[in-house]
Amino acid sequence: MTRLMILFAFLWGTSAAALELTQTGAFTLNRPASLEYDPDFCGLWIANEGPEAVLTTLDGYELRRIRSDMGRIKAIALEGSALIVADGRGNFQRLTKDGAALAPPFTISSSWADTEGMAVDADGSIITVEDDPEYLSWLAPDGQILRRINTMSLNPPLSEAQGIARDPRTGHLLIVDDLEGTNSLYEFDANGTLLSTAPLLEYGTDPEGIAIRPGSGQLFIAFDSGASVVSFDYTPTLPEGADPLPPGSDCAMF
C-alpha cells in the first residue's frame, strides 16, 4: 500500500487541509476510459471508446453491457436513475441501465465537442471535460452551453483532461490529465476554482477515467497504460479545522 499527501498552494479561505490518496487495490481491464460509480449495483460503468459500455463489480467482474444509438461511447455518467453517454463528437444520449434509449441522441449547442468525460451536477446541468480545444464546460440538459473555463489558462495548465467525477458531499470536481499532459489529478471546487493537483505517476500512466464512491470515501482511476483500474481511499480538500465529511450514499444492494 502506498500513500501520497499533497500540500498545495491554492488555498480555500485562509488555509486548508491537503488532498490525500491511499492506494487500496487494482484490477486489469482492457482500455478503460470513462468511469462512473453506480450505487444500485455497487459497481462501475466503464466506457472504452467502443460501441458498448460495461458494468463491472468493484473488482472487475463483468455484470452487463449496453449500447447506444451512437457509433461509440466515449463518456458515461449517472443522471438520476438513468445514464447519459457521449460519443466524443458533440452527441449525447440518455439510456436506461438496461441500455434502452430514453430519447434520440442530441447535440451540444456548439455542434462539436471532444467530450472525454462528464458528470451531472446537483442542479441537473451536465459538466464535461474536453481536450481539443481544452474546456471544462457546464451544459443545460438539452446541450446548451451555460459556461466554459479554458483549462489551458490554469496554473498548471490542464491540457489533456480525460475523466471527471463530482463528489456529492462537497460538490468538488476531480479531473484526470493524461500522459500527454501532466499525468495528474486536479481538484476543483463546485464553481470550477482550482484547489490542488496531485501527481499520479507512482500509480500508473495515462489516466483516462475517474469515479467516486462517496459512501466509503473511495476513488477509482482508470489508467490506459497497463490497462488497470486503481482504487484509493480518498480525502478531499477541506478548510482547516473542518469536521470529516459524513459518508454519502452507498450501495443500495446492501
Q: Is residue 245 included in any domain, yes or no? A: no
Give the three cell numbers for residue 229: 483500474
Q: Is residue 250 included in any domain, yes or no? A: no
pLDDT of residue 244: 79
pLDDT of residue 245: 80
pTM of the model: 0.90
Q: Is residue 247 included in any domain, yes or no? A: no
Neighbours of 193 (CB within 10 A): 13
Give the count of domains, the chain.
1
Residues recorded for the chain: 254
Estimate the share of the chain in helix, then strand, then coil, as percent rounded to the nearest 5. 0, 50, 50
Domain coverage including residue 205: 3-235
Strand partners, 173: 166, 188
Alpha helices, DSSP H, located in 123-229: none
- Band (pLDDT 50/70/90 cuts) for residue 5 is very low
pLDDT of residue 249: 63
Question: Contact 170/126 with Cβ under 8 angstroms?
Answer: no
Residue carrying C-alpha cell 460501441 = 51
Q: Is residue 54 included in any domain, yes or no? A: yes
Q: Is residue 254 included in any domain, yes or no? A: no
Q: Is residue 243 included in any domain, yes or no? A: no
Domain at 74, CATH number: 2.120.10.30
Q: Is residue 188 included in any domain, yes or no? A: yes
Asked which of 11-15, 102-106, 145-149, 198-202 is least confident by mean pLDDT, the reply is 11-15
pLDDT more than 70, % of the chain: 91
Rounding to the nearest 10 degrees, give the CA dihedral for residues 211, 78, 134, 88: 110
pLDDT tens for 173-188 read 999 999 999 999 999 9
Q: If you average pLDDT over every residue of the chain, what do you get?
A: 90
pLDDT more than 90, % of the chain: 77
